[in-house]
Chain A
């Protein structure tokens, strides 16, 4: 996909303002769901910022992804309330269903991306996960396995 025309438009929008690198990267990321090496290089050239600086910012903040996302994104809340309500077991159960090894965060077929995130703010429903935009609360290992499996149907 040629994303350059879209990036050009974004650069035009931000060019004259100060402190714009983060919002610019956020907008560029929203085109493809991640920041490709190529796109970061292109921004560096166009904005006159060193490539290393862009890469430094992109790796500092957890919202920037350097790899493409799966079709569905599972976010497991790792807030305190969820932790004391057994979020670790929820993670293990999901990872078992998805057959993810060690530090893998994506299924081989690219169907699911698995991310553990800071508090989702639904502490009274702990433990909580989000799949795409939908929140599921008061989970058990069994319930969550069924929920994840239901996406394959």
Chain B
């Protein structure tokens, strides 16, 4: 009898959608009927919108994945697959159709449009199994670097690949390694992985750490070998418990197989790796602040130079790269810089992972070659808008980035092209907004975030962001003055020039880009006291349409301030001066008799 492998996506997103119950139901069913199935946990394949996901693999059968599975239908899905009659209409991904089957998964096309280097193993392997990783060419790049190359050659290969840092700024990784390798030769050096992914709306680093932790460890090992480091740290957000759990297991397994520790793979290279959990401070994503935090201090940035490559962690030369950057390394060493160079544009090589979220139909994680237009990412892969409301803007690069309007949707994914719009590539968070999103409110949202996360060291960042936030709050409350726009622009320039680190320098970006592309909305808020998206509470009014109101009293019952009056079966009335504009009545009305203006 042939064995069936059943994989369930158990990353954070899958668990939130109920994957644990699915796993339990599947396990019960298999045990109860003594079925020859091997149940496996895998991580995130990126299709968060279709979670929970379950995949079936068996010889002579097509490899298929079902989406949006419920625990009630699990037993039926298992039985029908084992009987050779998969439920075709529910299949979202199918691979290797055999002659007897021709199942087209609903999402096959979307996957085909992607190129997966960083996410090569995510959602495919069991992240807690080092064997799974090794079976997919895992640690072969490390072996190649140690046995066939020397540190100099590794640095040259990464230089030639023209890989740029995926944390946001896009500094050439090879150059960073070369500087670190040539710094204070013979002294103790450190290599650090920056996994302090704090951008609201970005979750690609978490998915890689949860789904393929060994690829990051292998990248770090190769980097350490190249620069001459013998100790490393992964600085990871404590808000990512599953990523930390998988990393700990991966590090232990790697030690057991002599892939970490003394004389790795019988070479003269030794390397120790530790995990450092963050304690919740966004600014620690900045490299000098991150170093201070690993040293146990308040995570405040320091003036550069000296750069970490010269004097970093505990005063020693230190090289810091982002999770996604490290996840590219093994692939480049194994396949060569030329293969990597074939992907992308003149100045941005390889691929980029994006986290799609907001008002997009297929939210999740995708990976595309550099150079594709944003329109392709949002419409062809992301499936376009979720509701029928038209596209308004896409926010790229989180609180340091900016809003790109519909007119710029043909901008290609490339560090320099995106910079030209006023946004930045950033770590790859892509939040799609529709006409029901107010850009002034979004700018206020990001500024609230940066203002809150400013460490307080630089006056302009500490006080300037607060002043900007006060002005924005005023505008969204209908108390803005027309000269406020000029004040915002002046403050933005000063904060940019007067801040030490990227957090402050880029904090005004969301305001500047929305002013650039949606200035008229700011003016509407200020002059006409109007929020066209209907988001800013102080600028909207709820009223009852007397001809549609049936007098069901639903609105009056939910109103928290009892400002709705009216008799049963007669039209109701909202007293505007008492209304707090919470929208409870609007949501409660089943007859569309309450309008928001």
* Pairing of A with B: yes
Where the two chains meet, the residues of A that have a C-beta atom closer than 8 Å to any C-beta of B are 18-23, 25-26, 56-57, 60-64, 78-81, 83-85, 89, 92, 96, 117-126, 128, 135, 137, 140-142
In angstroms, Cα B201 to Cα A84, docked, is 11
- Which B residues are CB-close (under 8 A) to A141? 582-584, 587
Instruction: Indicate whether B512 reaches chain A with its CB closer than 8 angstroms.
Output: no
Stretch at the interface among B131-139, B252-260, B275-283, B411-419: B275-283
In angstroms, Cα B358 to Cα A60, docked, is 30
Evaluate whether A81 and B363 lie within 8 angstroms (CB atoms) in the complex, with A61-B279, A119-B201 already known: yes
Min CB distance B258 to A, Å, is: 24
Q: How many residues of B contact A (CB 8 A)?
A: 57
Of the candidates A22, A84, A120, the one whose C-beta lies within 8 Å of that of B359 is: A84
Evaluate whether A26 and B357 lie within 8 angstroms (CB atoms) in the complex, with A19-B294, A125-B17, A140-B587 already known: no
Min CB distance A28 to B, Å, is: 12
Evaluate whether A96 and B429 lie within 8 angstroms (CB atoms) in the complex, with A80-B395, A124-B13, A125-B17 already known: no
Contact between chains at A80 and B431 (CB < 8 Å)? yes
In angstroms, Cα B588 to Cα A121, docked, is 29
In angstroms, Cα B15 to Cα A128, docked, is 13
Contact between chains at B296 and A19 (CB < 8 Å)? yes
Contact between chains at B201 and A124 (CB < 8 Å)? no
In angstroms, Cα B429 to Cα A79, docked, is 11
Of the candidates A18, A81, A89, the one whose C-beta lies within 8 Å of that of B431 is: A81
**Which residues between 169 and 207 of chain B lie within 8 Å of chain A, taking CB atoms?**
198-203, 206
Min CB distance B235 to A, Å, is: 11
Contact between chains at B200 and A119 (CB < 8 Å)? yes
- Best-surrounded residue of B48, B201, B364, B437 (most CB of chain A within 10 A): B201
Query: Known pairs A22-B293, A84-B437, A121-B240. 9 more at Cβ < 8 A?
Result: A18-B314, A60-B455, A63-B279, A84-B358, A89-B583, A117-B239, A122-B48, A124-B48, A141-B584
Contact between chains at A80 and B239 (CB < 8 Å)? no
Evaluate whether A84 and B433 lie within 8 angstroms (CB atoms) in the complex, with A123-B201, A137-B17 already known: yes
In angstroms, Cα B278 to Cα A85, docked, is 28
Contact between chains at A57 and B281 (CB < 8 Å)? no
Of the candidates B198, B281, B314, the one whose C-beta lies within 8 Å of that of A61 is: B281
Contact between chains at B295 and A121 (CB < 8 Å)? no
Evaluate whether A124 and B240 lie within 8 angstroms (CB atoms) in the complex, with A60-B299, A96-B560 already known: no
Contact between chains at B17 and A83 (CB < 8 Å)? no
Contact between chains at A124 and B364 (CB < 8 Å)? yes
Min CB distance A111 to B, Å, is: 21
Evaluate whether A62 and B281 lie within 8 angstroms (CB atoms) in the complex, with A57-B296, A119-B203 already known: yes
Instruction: Indicate whether B355 reaches chain A with its CB closer than 8 angstroms.
Output: yes
Min CB distance A55 to B, Å, is: 11
Contacts A/B (CB < 8 Å), 23 sampled: A20-B296, A23-B276, A25-B279, A57-B298, A80-B357, A80-B395, A80-B442, A83-B445, A84-B358, A84-B433, A84-B437, A92-B582, A96-B560, A118-B239, A119-B202, A123-B203, A123-B355, A124-B48, A124-B49, A125-B13, A125-B17, A137-B17, A142-B558
Of the candidates B12, B16, B282, B583, the one whose C-beta lies within 8 Å of that of A118 is: B282
- Which B residues are CB-close (under 8 A) to A92? 582
- Which B residues are CB-close (under 8 A) to A85? 358
- Which A residues are CB-close (under 8 A) to B584? 141
Instruction: Indicate whether B398 reaches chain A with its CB closer than 8 angstroms.
Output: yes
In angstroms, Cα B122 to Cα A17, docked, is 35
Of the candidates B15, B238, B294, the one whose C-beta lies within 8 Å of that of A63 is: B238
**Which residues between 90 and 127 of chain B lie within 8 Å of chain A, taking CB atoms?**
none
Instruction: Indicate whether B367 reaches chain A with its CB closer than 8 angstroms.
Output: no
Instruction: Indicate whether B521 reaches chain A with its CB closer than 8 angstroms.
Output: no
Instruction: Indicate whether B212 reaches chain A with its CB closer than 8 angstroms.
Output: no
Instruction: Indicate whether B297 reaches chain A with its CB closer than 8 angstroms.
Output: yes
Of the candidates B282, B296, B429, B588, the one whose C-beta lies within 8 Å of that of A22 is: B296
* Chain A to chain B: the 10 pairs with minimum beta-carbon distance, closest first: A61-B279, A80-B201, A21-B296, A123-B357, A62-B280, A124-B48, A81-B357, A124-B363, A63-B280, A135-B16
Contact between chains at A122 and B16 (CB < 8 Å)? yes
- Which A residues are CB-close (under 8 A) to B128? none
- Which A residues are CB-close (under 8 A) to B395? 80
Interface string of B479-513 (1 = CB under 8 A from A): 00000000000000000000000000000000000
Contact between chains at B200 and A60 (CB < 8 Å)? no
**Which residues between 306 and 365 of chain B lie within 8 Å of chain A, taking CB atoms?**
314, 355, 357-359, 363-364
- Which B residues are CB-close (under 8 A) to A124? 13, 48-49, 51, 357, 363-364
Contact between chains at B363 and A123 (CB < 8 Å)? yes
Contact between chains at A89 and B296 (CB < 8 Å)? no
Contact between chains at A60 and B298 (CB < 8 Å)? yes
Interface string of B442-475 (1 = CB under 8 A from A): 1001100100000100000000000000000000
Min CB distance A65 to B, Å, is: 11
Q: Which residue of B lies closest to A83 (CB)?
A: B445
Min CB distance A11 to B, Å, is: 14
In angstroms, Cα B358 to Cα A96, docked, is 26
Min CB distance A43 to B, Å, is: 12
In angstroms, Cα B292 to Cα A22, docked, is 11
Q: Which residue of B lies closest to A75 (CB)?
A: B239
**Which residues between 554 and 585 of chain B lie within 8 Å of chain A, taking CB atoms?**
558, 560, 582-584
**Which residues between 241 and 285 of chain B lie within 8 Å of chain A, taking CB atoms?**
276-282
